[in-house]
C-alpha cells in the first residue's frame, strides 16, 4: 500500500445497529446482575459478565465472524495494557509498509488501527494490509473459526488490582461522556471493588478470563503468546523481539544494528502515544456519542492501585486471585 494514503485515518466499517437488534430477545433471557452504573446491568453469558450493548456485538461475531488461517488476535481483558500491546503489534507488523513519519498511529487512535471483532469493526479496503484483530472476549467466547483454524493469539494480562483501578476510572469517564451528570451516580470505587471481587465486571470474572488463555497457552504454546503487563514494562526489548518472532516478522541483523527495536519501543511508549495530537484531542463515536481518545491514556504505571485502594483491599484481592489460580501455574506474584 502506498504511503500517500497511509497518513489518513483508518476507516472501519461497522455492523449496523439494525443487525444487532435481533439479539435483544436472547440477551433478555440471560441471568442479570448489578452493573457499575444505575443505568446498566450485567448479563451472564457462558460464565462471563457482559454489558448488553457489548454482548450484542459478541453474539453477532459468534454468528458471522469468519477468521482466516493467518489472522492474529490481540486479546486481553479491559484495561490491562491493550492500547500499548496493540500499538506494538501494529508497528512491528507494518514496519515495512511505513516509516516512522507515515505510520497510521500518528493520525489514528490505536484501537482504530486494529479493529475489535466483537464491536463489529472491520477494515475497509482503504485500511492497512495486516491480519491483526483485537478482542476483549474470554477464550471460550471467541468465534469458533478462530480456534478451529488455529489462529495465533497474543494475550496480555495485568495485576488485578491495577486492572480494577484503571477499569473504574475508564468507565467513570465513559459514563460522564455518554450520560452527562450520571457520573456522580457511578459506583463508588469501594463498592465497585466489591463487585470486581465477586467477578462482576465487564468480561469478568477477571481471573477466569486470565485462566482461559493461560491454560490454552500451555496446550498450544506455538499458537498463543502469553504476556504479563509487568513483564512487558520490565523487559520491553525482549518482549518486543518475542512478539516479532511470533508474528513471523523477526528483526533482521540490519534492523537490530539500526535500532529499530528501540525506535518501536520509544514510539509506542506511554509518553509518546499520549502526546500525539490524535490521542490528546481526537474523538471516537461510541453508542452514538463522541468519546475523547485521551480516555485510553491515564497513567500506565505499575502499582498505581496503592493510590486508590487500601492495603487491606489489596490483600483481599490478592488472596482471591491466589485461590482462583491455585494449581494452574499462573501467578501475579513477583
pLDDT tens for 195-215 read 999 999 999 999 999 999 999
Integer Cα distance of 28 and 26 in angstroms:
6
Is the pLDDT score of 275 beyond 90?
no
Q: What is the pLDDT of residue 236?
A: 96
3-class DSSP assignment, residue 224: strand
Active-site residue, selected from the candidate residues 60, 136, 169, 209: 136
Mean pLDDT over 143-166 rounds to 96
pLDDT category at 194 given cuts 50, 70, 90 is: very high
Is the pLDDT score of 52 beyond 80?
yes
Mean pLDDT over 148-161 rounds to 97
**At what angle are helices 206-219 and 160-178 packed, to 10 degrees?**
120
Is the pLDDT score of 110 beyond 70?
yes
Average pLDDT, the chain: 85
Of 129-138, 151-160, 182-191, 294-303, where does mean pLDDT reach its minimum? Answer: 294-303
Cell of 21: 437488534
Q: What is the pLDDT of residue 174?
A: 78
Q: What is the pLDDT of residue 294?
A: 60
Q: How many CA atoms lie within 13 A of 165 on its CB side?
A: 20
136 is catalytic: yes
pTM for the whole thing? Answer: 0.89
Closest CA to 97 of 182, 7, 16, 207: 7
Q: What is the pLDDT of residue 153?
A: 98
Q: What is the pLDDT of residue 124?
A: 42
CATH entry 3.40.50.300 includes domain 67-325: yes
Mean pLDDT over 252-278 rounds to 87
Is the pLDDT score of 16 beyond 60?
no
Is the pLDDT score of 325 beyond 70?
yes
Is the pLDDT score of 297 beyond 80?
no
Q: What is the pLDDT of residue 6?
A: 32
Is the pLDDT score of 121 beyond 70?
no
Integer Cα distance of 166 and 326 in angstroms:
25
- Which residues are 43's β-sheet partners? 32, 50
Amino acid at each position: 500500500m502506498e504511503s500517500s494514503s497511509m497518513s489518513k485515518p483508518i476507516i472501519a466499517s461497522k455492523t449496523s445497529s439494525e443487525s444487532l437488534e435481533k439479539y435483544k430477545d436472547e440477551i433478555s433471557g440471560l441471568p442479570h446482575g448489578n452493573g457499575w452504573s444505575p443505568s446498566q446491568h450485567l448479563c451472564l453469558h457462558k460464565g462471563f459478565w457482559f454489558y448488553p450493548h457489548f454482548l450484542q456485538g459478541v453474539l453477532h461475531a459468534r454468528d458471522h465472524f469468519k477468521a482466516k488461517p493467518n489472522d492474529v488476535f490481540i486479546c486481553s481483558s479491559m484495561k490491562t495494557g491493550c492500547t500499548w500491546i496493540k500499538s506494538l503489534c501494529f508497528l512491528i507488523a507494518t514496519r515495512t509498509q511505513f516509516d516512522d513519519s507515515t505510520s497510521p498511529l500518528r493520525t489514528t487512535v490505536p484501537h482504530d488501527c486494529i479493529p475489535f471483532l466483537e464491536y463489529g469493526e472491520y477494515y475497509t479496503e482503504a485500511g492497512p494490509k495486516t491480519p491483526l484483530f483485537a478482542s476483549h472476549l474470554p477464550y471460550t467466547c471467541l468465534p469458533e473459526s478462530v480456534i478451529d483454524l488455529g489462529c495465533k493469539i497474543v494475550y496480555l494480562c495485568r495485576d488485578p488490582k491495577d486492572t480494577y483501578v484503571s477499569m473504574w476510572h475508564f468507565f467513570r469517564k465513559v459514563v460522564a461522556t455518554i450520560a452527562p451528570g450520571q457520573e456522580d451516580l457511578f459506583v463508588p470505587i469501594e463498592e465497585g471493588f466489591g463487585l470486581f471481587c465477586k467477578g462482576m465486571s465487564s468480561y469478568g470474572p477477571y481471573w477466569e478470563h486470565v485462566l482461559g488463555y493461560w491454560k490454552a497457552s500451555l496446550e498450544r504454546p506455538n499458537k498463543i503468546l502469553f504476556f504479563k503487563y509487568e513483564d512487558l514494562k520490565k523487559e520491553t526489548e525482549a518482549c518486543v523481539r518475542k512478539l516479532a518472532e511470533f508474528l513471523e516478522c523477526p528483526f533482521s541483523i540490519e534492523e537490530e544494528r539500526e535500532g529499530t527495536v528501540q525506535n518501536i519501543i520509544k514510539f509506542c511508549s506511554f509518553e509518546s502515544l499520549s502526546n500525539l495530537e490524535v490521542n490528546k484531542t481526537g474523538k471516537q463515536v461510541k453508542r452514538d456519542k463522541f468519546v475523547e481518545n485521551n480516555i485510553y491514556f491515564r497513567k500506565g504505571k505499575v502499582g498505581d492501585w496503592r493510590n486508590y485502594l487500601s492495603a487491606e483491599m489489596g490483600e483481599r484481592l490478592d488472596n482471591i486471585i491466589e485461590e482462583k489460580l491455585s494449581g494452574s501455574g499462573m501467578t501475579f506474584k513477583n
